[in-house]
Chains A and B, each alone.
Chain A
Amino acid sequence: MQSVINFLKTYPALQIIAVLLVGFSLLSPYFLTAGNFEALLGANAVVLIAAIGMTVVFLAGGIDLSISTVISASAVIAGLVMAQTDSVVAGAVTAVVVGLMFGALNGVLIGYFRLTPFITTMATQLIARGIAFVLSQGIAVKGTPYWMLDFGFMLWMGIPAVTLVALGLVVVSALAMSQTTWGRHVMLVGSNQEAARHAGINTRFVEFSVYLFAGVMAGAAGFISIANLGNAIPGVGDTLLLIIIGAVVLGGTGMTGGEGSVERTVLGVAILAMLTNGLNLLGIPFYDQLIIQGVLIFLGTYLAMRLGSRGRA
C-alpha cells in the first residue's frame, strides 16, 4: 500500500489521469471504446513526439519555443519534396534534416554563442513560421503520396502506426536519457551548470545537443503531421506550443532543469489528450475547453511541483 502511495506521489499525473478516465467513462458511453481510443492516440502522436524534444530541453534547463513552428516548416518542406519525388523516404529524411538544421542553429547560438534560449528560439520560431508560409504560399501542400495517407490510418496490433512511431521514439529517448553518459550529462547540466562545468562536462556541447535533439524531434513530428492530416499544413504548429509545454510540465518536468523524465511527459500528453477528447464527446465548445485546459495546466503543474519534486516549475 505504502509503495502504491509513494508511486502516486512520484507521478501525480497518474492521479489526474485516473480522475479523467473514471469521470469521462461515467459521463460519456463513447469514451471507453476502442474506436475512440484509436482516434485519441492517433491525433496526439505529433504532440507526443514534439513534447519529447521539449522535455529534454527542459531537463537541460533551457526552453525551445521554436519547436512548434519547426514542425510546420519541416512538414511543408517534406511535403514539397514528396510532391516532387513521390518518395516517402525522401520526405521523411527531408523533415528530419530540416528539423536538424533548425536545432543546430538554436544549439550553436545558445550553446556556443551563449545567447538567451527564450529570445533565440522566439526568433527562430518566427523564422521557421515565415519559411513554412513563404514556401507553401500559405496553403496546404498538395501531392502527398498515397502510402502516406494510408499510413495515417494504419493500425499495428490495434494501435495507430503513428502512435507506435511516437512511442518508439519515447522508448529510445528515455533509454538515451537514463542509460547513456549523454543523458546523465544533460541532467547534470540542467540541475547545476556551474558544477557540471567544473566536473569536466562539456556543457556547451550538451546544450548544443539538446536543441539539436529537439529539432530532430520537431522534424519527425512535422513528418507525422502530414500522415495525420493528409497534407502538409503551414499553420500546423502554430497552436501547439501551449499544448506541448503544458504536457511537459503537467507530466512533472520542471522548467528549472534536472527534474523529470521523458516517461513523465507521456503522462502529461495523455492528460491533455484525454481532456480534449472527453470534452469533445460531451459537446463542450472549444472556448470553454480553452478555459478548462488552462486551469488544469496550472493546477496540475502546481500539484506536480508540490508532490513530485521540490523544484520550481
Chain B
Amino acid sequence: MKQKLRSLMSRQKWVAIAMATIVLAGVLSVVSPVFLTLSNFQAILVQSSVTAIMAIGMTFIILTAGIDISVGAILFVTSALFAQLYMDTESYFLAFSVTIVCATLLGALNGLLVVKFRISPLITTLATYSIYRGAAIHLTGAQNIPVPREMGFLGNGRLFGIPVPILILAALLVIGVYILSRTRLGVYARAIGNSERSANETNLPVDRSLIVIYGFSGLVTGIAALILIARVGGLQSGIGIGIEFTVIAAVILGGTKLSGGSGTVVGSVIGAVFLVLIDNGLNLMNASPYIYDIVRGSVLLAAVAIDRYSAVRQQASLEAQRAERIGLESEPNTAEFVPHPEHVTAK
C-alpha cells in the first residue's frame, strides 16, 4: 500500500498536493465547524477561481521552461479595457469580444517577442509587464470604473445551482487537460521544455507552439479578468499586482517543474485551491493580514524542499538498485567520464 502510494506520487505529481489539500481541509474542519459546509466549499472554489484559471495557462508556459511575469498586468489591462469599452459603448458583445481577443493577442505578443528576440522569457515579460500596466492606466486615466450590476452574474451568479466561476473554471480545466494530454500542442509543450534544441532539431514547430501557448495563457487570463471585475464590481487600480507570483506558486505547488518538461494542469488548479485554503485557515485564526505572506512563502519553501528531498531519495534508490544489479557496492563517480570502448571504436 505504502509502496503503491509512493509510486503513484512519483508518477503523478499532483497527487502530493491533492493529499496536502485534503489534510489541510481536514485540519480546518476540526478547527472550525462552518468549514465543512457546501457553501464554504463553494466559496473557497470561487475565491480561487481567478488564480486557478490563470494557473492553467501558466502551466503550459512553465512546461516549455518559460515564465510569464506579465500575467498580472494582462489581467489588469483587460479588466481596464472591458470597463472602459463598456462605459463608452454599453455593448456587452463588443466589450466581451474585444477584451478576450486583446488578452489573447497580448499573451501571443509575449510569445512572439520571446521567439523572435531570443531574450529570456523572464526579462521579456518583465518588460511587457511594465508596458501593459502603463498602457492600462493610460487608457483609463487612473480612474476606478464601476461595471453594471448584471456583470455580477459572472462573478456571483449561479447556473444549475453552481456558482458560475466554478463552472468556467471546470470547463477550462477540462480543456486544459485535454490540450495537454490529447493534442500535439501538449506534446510539443513538454518536448520544448525538455530540450528546446532537440525540439528544433526534430523540426517541431517550436516558434509557433510557443506563440500559441503564451497566447492561450493570455486568453485564460482575459477570462479570469472578466470574473474578477464582476466579483469586485469594477476596475480598481490594485488589480493584478503581485498575482503573478501567486499563480506561479500554485503551478509549482501543483508539481510542475520550473525547468520545464513535466507537470499537470490538475495539479496547478489544486495548488491554487490550496493557497486559498491557507488564507481561509489564517482568516479563521484571525491572523494579521501581514502574516499571510510569511506563511505563503514558508509553505512554498517547504514544498520545493520536500520535492527536492524526494527527488534525491528516488535518485539514490535507483542508483542503489542499479548497483545491486551490477553487483557493486557503489560506482565510483569518475567512471562516467571514461569513454566506453564501443563508442571509441564506433567513431
Q: Which residues of A contact B (CB under 8 A)?
A: 63, 109, 113-116, 118-120, 122-127, 129-131, 133-134, 137-138, 242, 245-246, 249, 255-256, 285-295, 297-298, 301-302, 305, 312-313
Contacts and interface: CB of A to CB of B under 8 A. Distances in A.
Contact of A120 (B67, B249, B291, B304): B304
The 8 closest A-B pairs by CB, nearest first: A290-B134, A126-B297, A130-B294, A294-B130, A130-B293, A294-B131, A287-B137, A127-B297
Nearest to B142: A287
A63 B120 CA distance: 13
20 contacts: A109-B301, A109-B305, A115-B308, A122-B249, A125-B297, A126-B300, A130-B294, A130-B295, A134-B291, A134-B294, A138-B290, A245-B122, A246-B127, A255-B120, A288-B134, A295-B127, A295-B131, A305-B119, A312-B118, A312-B119
Interface residues of B, number: 43
Contacts of A255: 120, 122-123
A125 B245 CA distance: 10
Contacts of B305: 109, 113, 115
Given A245-B126, A297-B126, A297-B127, A130 B134 contact: no
Contact of A288 (B122, B126, B138, B259): B138
- What does DSSP make chain B's interface, helix, strand, loop or mixed? helix
A131 B294 CA distance: 7
Contacts of A113: 305, 308
A287 B290 CA distance: 28
User: Which of A133, A137, A288 lies at the interface centre, i.e. has the most chain B CB atoms within 10 A of its CB?
Assistant: A133
A119 B294 contact: no
Given A115-B304, A245-B122, A290-B133, 17 more contacts: A113-B308, A115-B305, A120-B304, A123-B301, A125-B297, A126-B245, A127-B293, A127-B297, A127-B301, A130-B297, A131-B294, A134-B290, A287-B136, A287-B138, A287-B142, A298-B113, A301-B127
B293 A291 contact: no
A300 B142 CA distance: 28
Contacts of A129: 293
Contacts of B118: 305, 312
Contacts of B119: 298, 301-302, 305, 312-313
A122 B293 contact: no
A133 B288 CA distance: 10
B231 interface: no
A246 B126 contact: yes
Nearest to B116: A302
B258 A119 contact: yes
B294 A291 contact: no
Contact of B297 (A115, A116, A123, A256): A123
